[in-house]
Structure 1
Amino acid sequence: MPIYTGSGQRIVLGDVAKISITDGPPMLRSENSRLAGYVYIDIRGRDLQSAVLDMQRVVAEQVELPAGYSISWSGQFEYLERATAKLKLVVPFTLLIIFVLLYMTFKVVDEALLIMATLPFALVGGAWLLWLLEFNLSVAGAVGFIALAGVAAEFGVIMLLYLNQSWASRVKRGLIGEDDLLDAIREGAVLRVRPKAMTVLTILAGLIPIMWGTGTGSEVMQRIAAPMVGGMVSAPLLSMFVIPAVFLLIRRGQTRNPA
């Protein structure tokens, strides 16, 4: 390639420069006044957080960065970190609100603690379904578990209210023997079978189409719905069998068998 100087002399580009073709970035980018390069990674078959943590460990062990260089992890992982930090505040605050509302409803600590203590067991069904569907726990799954905890608490509250009403009606009539307590528990629990079955069927009817959906955003919605669908097996069984049994243990001290 000929080049003409200002004085009219003709020189060849090869006399003043060396030309070569190499691979490099298509454009120069900078962030915070520093040159930046991006490496895009698609992850399949693993959850995002554990994959990034493994990559960070490998990079820390095997890559020695020169002076002035740094690595930052962005994209979906950055959003996940922000959401996880928020959930660490939202989940305890939500549980505290649930406990306060339970205490305001029952006016006694033991019954409020009963509902709170049974919530983890009600979430077992959701965890099982996530495992069966091979869904990794994500922010969407955590949202589904929070919703399931609310439904499980509602199941327990209504069951406990029916049991208390049934037992209170017998106490007013002077029926305070242990057999009377058992009859009250049977009556209160049986009254909840039909409405609980209707509630479960209604929830499943609304969530199963989401589980089968294939449209835009269906993957996120499926991970929100999966804990709810699985929990509709464990939560009703817990409220129908475990809560009445624990109620019997709590109220047994108030019974008085006839002489």
Structure 2
Amino acid sequence: MPAPQEGDGEETAAPPDPEEAPKAAPELRGEATGEPAATPAAPPSPEDKAVNSRLGRMYRRMVEPFLDSPGRRLGLAATVTGLLLAALLLAATGRVPLKMLPFDNKNEFQIVLDLPEGSTLESTDRAVRDFEAFLRGVPEVTTFVSYVGTASPMDFNALVRQYYLRGDSNQADIRVNLLPKDRRDMQSHAIVLRLRNALEALAARHGARMRLVETPPGPPVVATVAAEVYGAPDMPYEMLMESALGLHGLFRDEPGITDVFDSTQTPRERINFFLDKEKAALHGVAAEDVNASIALAMSGATPATVHEPGERRPLVTRLVLPREKRSSLTALERIPVKTDAGKIAPLAELGQFRPVSEDQPILHKNMRRVAYVFGETAGRAPAEAVFGLQNRLEADPPRKGIEVDFAGEGEWKITVDVFRDLGIAFGAALLGIYILLIIETKSFSLPLLLMTAIPLTLLGIMPGFWLLNVLFGETVGGYGDPVFFTATSMIGMIALGGIVIRNSLVLINFVDESMRQGMALREAVLQSGAIRLRPIALTALTTMLGAWPITLDPIFSGLAWALIFGLLASTAFSLLLIPVAYYAVRSKTSAA
């Protein structure tokens, strides 16, 4: 075909620019094919990011096997149950020692000394001076004040233990002051444990009974371990004292019990004058005249007062025999007694002096005669010491009619009462949580499923305290210094109930909301767990970090550790157990 010439009347199209062709191509293709132009892709939502993240994929891989296998779900339930029983066994076997309150870090402690009865004030003072010489060499001791033959100033501890009544010549108190807390490495309880053996050796050298008394953080008791010995109404009191002395030996043989003493007194004699009535009648002396003469010679009398110039008050005149004339039997027999005839007859002609056994004081409690045995614990929980003593009594029971009660004046009763009351409070809190969950979920069974997160806290609390004793439990002076599970720890466990329930409730609500949007149950469980994993973990972590400073306090550290360990275990297990259990229950309901 011939090429067109200029001026033929036809317009020829110029060839397309190669640089502009690629830009126009998409538009031309769209026009040619009739397809709409492509729109940019929407950014992924935060939920999609959480599901597709590495953490979300890991959570999915962890939970999926339990959703697909009923046998694995049963194995998971059995494993958690076994772990709960193992955690409870840690407390039952003493691996986690129980105590009402831990030892506080104070700046003082007290040494209470009892030398043998009848010791002179001088001998007691010599013993105290040896203790003072030892205390001067203790680097943590700043000052001390000794009270010999008199009681130290009364505080709340002394009021309960009745130290304010101590005033005999064989008794002494030493108040020891320590460096401030920020200037010493050891707590006051550890210092007392370190010094105990050396102080006990000093006490044994002087034949004294010693008690190391620490200021308690809570209500003080007469002694940490106290046994009350009762008998039948017709039983002589001497049998109660014999049983108390036998129990005293059991206290000394029980490991961890120190500073043992009892309510019995050292046997002693007194001298009584026995009047010969025939001889008294021959001399014309009445029995009341003899009593009056002996009382005047021994105790004296105040027959008159003297008004001295310059004195505002009258001075009392005391009439008594000199000490040398009333300090021996020979001198007492020479005490004169006036007869009816106006003559003087010595007591030796009217009767004779004889030694007789002094009666022991009879103590009563709730109108029953009782004898006491007291002891302190060092390096051992009071509950363990009481259980050990009870086992010894079962192996070697006391005589028939004797009853031994440990739930009286010691710390054991207070510990039992406090943990019992806290257990009742825990039950009341669980009931309140259950009622609130019924109102929220409109179901009676679903709240029980949600509340399974509460016992999961034990999986962290009990092993956590056991781990603390393994890592940080010390031995000071041959005595253990463990980390106790205390009443404050129990309070922390109660507080955890509301915290862990919130996580479970939010997680289940996410599952239900996803199902209302048309998602299948299995996928709703997996996606809801993946979405809530990070917020739940961050909430638990911030709570644990907030409780961390409380661990530095010696009293409330148990509360903080309970929160930390309980949150750690409950969060980890509830993220797995609660979704799996909810899937198992909901799938059966849907199938039915």
Report the TM-score, using the length of structure 1 for normalisation: 0.73
1:31 maps to amino acid: K
Residue equivalent to 1:201: 541
Q: Confirm or deny that 1:142 pairs with 2:477.
A: no
Residue equivalent to 1:71: 404
* Aligned mate of 1:127, from 458, 462, 476: 462
Q: Confirm or deny that 1:236 pairs with 2:571.
A: yes
Task: Report the CA distance between 1:155 and its aligned residue.
Answer: 1.8
Q: Confirm or deny that 1:40 pairs with 2:371.
A: no
* Aligned mate of 1:6, from 337, 344, 357: 337
Residue equivalent to 1:113: 448
Total equivalences in the alignment = 237
Residue equivalent to 2:301: none
Task: Report the CA distance between 1:55 and its aligned residue.
Answer: 0.9
Task: Report the CA distance between 1:129 and its aligned residue.
Answer: 0.4
Cα deviations by residue, 1:10-33 (Å, 9 ceiling, x for unpaired) = 568xx614399x9x99x8754345
Residue equivalent to 1:83: 418
Distance 1:71 1:198, change over 3 A: same
Distance 1:176 1:194, change over 3 A: closer
Unaligned ranges ≥5, structure 2:
1-326, 339-343, 470-482
Residue equivalent to 1:93: 428
Q: Is the 8 A contact 1:119 1:152 kept in 2?
A: yes
Task: Report the CA distance between 1:52 and its aligned residue.
Answer: 0.9
1:226 and 1:133 map into 2 onto residues whose CA distance is: 9
SS in 1 for 2:491: helix
Task: Report the CA distance between 1:124 and its aligned residue.
Answer: 0.4
Task: Report the CA distance between 1:125 and its aligned residue.
Answer: 1.0
Q: Is the 8 A contact 1:159 1:189 kept in 2?
A: yes
1:147 maps to amino acid: A
Q: Is the 8 A contact 2:453 2:570 kept in 1?
A: no
Distance 1:209 1:186, change over 3 A: same
Residue equivalent to 2:7: none
Distance 1:5 1:28, change over 3 A: farther
Q: Confirm or deny that 1:188 pairs with 2:528.
A: yes
Q: Is the 8 A contact 1:159 1:239 kept in 2?
A: no
Distance 1:210 1:65, change over 3 A: farther
Q: Is the 8 A contact 2:457 2:565 kept in 1?
A: no
Q: Confirm or deny that 1:56 pairs with 2:393.
A: no
The answer to which structure, 1 or 2, has the higher relative contact order (CA under 8 A, 6+ apart) is 1
Residue equivalent to 1:16: 353
User: Larger Rg: 1 or 2?
Assistant: 2
Q: Is the 8 A contact 2:454 2:496 kept in 1?
A: no
Cα deviations by residue, 1:179-204 (Å, 9 ceiling, x for unpaired) = xx51x334433443343234223321
Distance 1:188 1:55, change over 3 A: same
Task: Report the CA distance between 1:58 and its aligned residue.
Answer: 1.9
1:199 maps to amino acid: T
Distance 1:5 1:202, change over 3 A: farther
* Aligned mate of 1:156, from 494, 501, 504: 504
1:111 and 1:34 map into 2 onto residues whose CA distance is: 54
**RMSD over aligned Cα atoms:** 3.4
Cα deviations by residue, 1:195-231 (Å, 9 ceiling, x for unpaired) = 32342233212322222224xxx2xx22233222111
**Percent identity at matched positions?**
21
Residue equivalent to 2:513: 165
Whose strand fraction is larger, Structure 1's or Structure 2's?
2
Unaligned ranges ≥5, structure 1:
none
Task: Report the CA distance between 1:76 and its aligned residue.
Answer: 0.8
Distance 1:255 1:53, change over 3 A: closer
1:244 and 1:185 map into 2 onto residues whose CA distance is: 6
1:177 and 1:204 map into 2 onto residues whose CA distance is: 35
